[in-house]
Amino acid sequence: MFGNRLKKRARHLGKWAKREGVTCFRVYEKDIPEIPLIVDRYDHAVCVSEFARRDDSRGGAWVDAMAAAIEGALEVDSEAIYWKQRARQRGSAQYQRIADTGERFPVAEGGHRFFVNLEDYLDTGLFLDHRQTRARVAAEAEGSDFLNLFAYTGAFTVYAATSGARSTTTVDLSNTYLDWTADNLALNGISGAQHRLERADVMRWLDEAPAGRWDLVVLDPPTFSNSKAMDDTLDIQRDHAMLIRKTLRVTRQGGAVYFSTNRRRFHPDVDAFSGARGVEELTPDSIPPDFRDRRIHRCWRLVK
């Protein structure tokens, strides 16, 4: 059943991916209740996420059988299947290293290229669920001063820069991810002093940044963070209204802010968007066609 489902999905999505210029996409997402896996294709390789259960009776033989089904159905070498066990994450655990191979390779998405690492972290370096949102940002980036907050590996920055942004500013607390961003920019032929990378606690940085400086902003914070380098913890449910207000302050009049969160039970505060004159929830249209989970994130576009 699992192998047949993989083959069917791969055939269907392969045609779409070729048309879209995409080599990384979700093939399987817990389609069969008895097989609670997520299978993502990254060019020649496959990343498999297994979710821990309280009563976990699956053993090594089960994993071997699933891996064999993936290998046969998707026609990949066994060495190119990366298996990860996921549990409910708290704080910055999802960003910590689980290995130290440093092995990366480029994948393609909509005419852009990005380095991914399928072994060293639970996350790969490219969040596939934001593919549609990246395209929307790119569509209005030309001539803009672009700001990417909680930037991770800078995929939004690459999209904005290649779409003609006048300048980009990329802010993240991690040197590792800022270096990764620099590599992604170089991979796409982007260079110049107008593309700035800044290591900072975003909340403190927003307090010190000039008001009305940027035309187009992406605000995609983690659900929770308690990094030692931060002044305080970040809880997106508790802090989103404050964070949006700070972001709107640095946005030019008429400028746009894309705000997104992956928090499952997120409830926007009634005052969270009060500083915007235009608010549009993009969630339904921002979920890519290869994702069965329509609650993978929520996304809004705010106009100052």
Residue with tokens 């440093």: 102
Q: What is the pLDDT of residues 242-267, one digit of tens each?
A: 999 999 999 999 999 999 999 999 99
- Rounded to whole angstroms, the Cα distance separating 115 from 220 reads 20
**3 state SS of 270:** coil
What is the overall mean pLDDT for the chain?
93
Which pLDDT belongs to residue 213? 98
Structure tokens given for 235: 């809880």
Determine which of 24-38, 87-101, 117-131, 244-258 has the lowest per-residue pLDDT on average.
87-101
Cα 131 → chain centroid: 8
Q: What is the pLDDT of residues 108-145, one digit of tens each?
A: 999 999 999 999 999 999 999 999 999 999 999 999 99
Which pLDDT belongs to residue 93? 46
Which pLDDT belongs to residue 155? 98
Averaging pLDDT over each range in 2-11, 57-66, 93-102, which range is the top one? Answer: 2-11
Amino acid at 215: D
Which pLDDT belongs to residue 228? 53
Structure tokens given for 250: 């640095």
Structure tokens given for 300: 């809004």
Residue with tokens 């997402």: 29
- Rounded to whole angstroms, the Cα distance separating 88 from 54 reads 12
Output the pTM of the full model. 0.93
Which pLDDT belongs to residue 91? 47
Which pLDDT belongs to residue 59? 73
- Rounded to whole angstroms, the Cα distance separating 140 from 215 reads 10
Which pLDDT belongs to residue 98? 82
Q: Which domains does the chain have, with CATH numbers?
A: 2-86 (3.30.750.80), 128-303 (3.40.50.150)
